[in-house]
Structure formats: C-alpha cells, structure tokens
Amino acid sequence: MDRAYYPTVVISDIHLGTSFSRSMEASRFLMSIDCDRLILNGDVIDGWHLKKKSNKTWKKKHTLFFRVILKMMENFGTEVVYVRGNHDDFLDPLLPVTFHNVKIVKDFVHQRGERRYYVTHGDIFDSVTSHMRWLSKLGDVGYTLLLHINKYYNRYRRLRGKPYFSFAQAIKSRVKSAVSYLSDYEQSLVDLARTKRCHGIICGHIHHAEDKRYDDIHYLNSGDWVESMTALVESESGEWKIFYYNEK
C-alpha cells in the first residue's frame, strides 16, 4: 500500500480507554502514513475514565494504537511528541521527560524553517476544566450520555440509509453560548501565540477541527477521534491542512 508522507502530523483527543474512542480508525490512519514528527496533542489516554473502578473499557485495539506508533518509530525514525491534556493529567508528575526520540511535555514549540507554532492541548483556556474540576467531570458525564444516545440514534439512521449525525457538533453550532465559548477560546489561544512570539497556535481539547487566521496568527485545531476523526498534516512546503478520515 502506498503511504502518504507528511513532515509533521498532529492528532489529539482519541480518548483511549473509553468505549467511544475511534482507535481503530486512528490506527489505520497512522498505518497509512509516514512522518518525521508525530505530535499527540493531549487526551490520547482518558485517565478520567480509567480511574473508575467499574470501567473496564481498555481493549486490545487501544494497545494496538501504541504498537502502530512504535512501528513508525522503528521503521521510519518518527519523533513522537506527547503533549499532556486534561484527561491524561496523570502524566503531570513525570513532566517533562525525554527518552530516545519521545518527548512527553506540557507544551511544545514546533519549528520548521522560520515558522514557529506553539503547541498546547488547550485546556488551560477552559475555565471550567482549569478551575472547576467537579463541573468539568459532570460535563464529561453529560457528553458521555450524549454519545450513548448518538450511538443508538445513528444505528437507526444507518438502517434507513441515512448518514451519520452528531448531536454534540449540532449543539456546538446552534447554541449561542457554545458558539461564543468557541470564539473566546480561539481568541485566547491566538493571544497566547502572540505572547510566545509564534506564527501560529496548534491545539485540540474542544473536539472541533479548525484552520483559520486571526490577522497575523494561524489558528489550528486537530479535532478529535471520538466523532469527527480528523488530524492536522503539514506538507513539505510547510502548508497545513485538516485531514478528514473517511472509512472505506
């Protein structure tokens, strides 16, 4: 199989350890590419769910994801940068740590040529996640319930030949407060990139892939592998685009 080559690939919000993780799709995507640098931008492992005693949703397919990455490192020499997210905050006591060609960090500056991008998961600008942990976990329960409803509703739609429909994305696009939150979130990260003297910002966290410009700052969000199945890929000329995975 011909493998696409990208100097840099960013993938985030896979939430391994949950029943809703699209880890097989994420693994197939990584098996179809070669890259010099792979940035895992947070919430790759969902420690919040794994801490629950009753939660037994870690599957072989979740382990496979890391085996694929090890093969990329072995066969192509891929450098791996793991940026901690809020759901994998169990990594905090280790940070920063580097071994072989793997870095596990809180944030990262990606530079290629003269272009500098500040890489952060993005939860630092989510006031609920940062300052009201209990409310954030309550929201996580609500999101999980929504995904359960989504699962059965889309099973009904498939039986009638209708395409996938996401409640979560529909709510984000229609509820005024959610739209305002997304805008404020993006602006805060853009301001951060300026303070870091970077040309752009690369984030995740909100499960909403985006590629846009705020004047002189390039805002990029890698989306998620729970619903949208998106990644960010950088071309050899330094251009970024959103990669949309379409299952064959």
* 125-143 pLDDT tens trace: 764 444 444 334 544 555 6
Higher pLDDT: 100 or 125? It is 100
Tokens of 245: 């995975």
Q: Which of 223, 234, 204, 200 is nearest to 37 (CA)?
A: 234
pLDDT value of position 168: 66
Q: pLDDT band for position 246 (50/70/90)?
A: confident
* Count of other CB atoms within 10 angstroms of residue 32: 12
**Reduced to 3 states, what is the DSSP secondary structure of residue 139?**
helix
Please give the model's pTM, rounded to 2 decimal places.
0.83
For residue 96, the domain's CATH number is 3.60.21.10
For the segment 88-112, the average pLDDT, to the nearest whole number, is 94
Q: pLDDT band for position 169 (50/70/90)?
A: low
For the segment 144-166, the average pLDDT, to the nearest whole number, is 72
Q: Which of 188, 29, 157, 13 is nearest to 83 (CA)?
A: 13
pLDDT value of position 91: 93
Residue 242 to residue 248: CA distance in whole angstroms: 18
The domain in which residue 130 lies consists of: 4-244
Helix H or strand E encompassing 220: strand 217-221
pLDDT value of position 56: 74
Tokens of 207: 């499960």
Q: pLDDT band for position 37 (50/70/90)?
A: very high
Q: How many domains, the chain?
A: 1
Task: Examine the pLDDT at 104 and tell me if it is beyond 80.
Answer: yes
Q: What's the one-letter identity of residue 58?
A: W
pLDDT value of position 206: 87
pLDDT value of position 170: 65
Higher pLDDT: 149 or 51? It is 51
Higher pLDDT: 83 or 207? It is 83
CB-based contact 232:9 (threshold 8 Å): yes
Give residue 198's Cα distance to chain centre. Answer: 21
For the ranges 55-64, 102-111, 161-170, 178-187, the maximum mean pLDDT occurs at 102-111
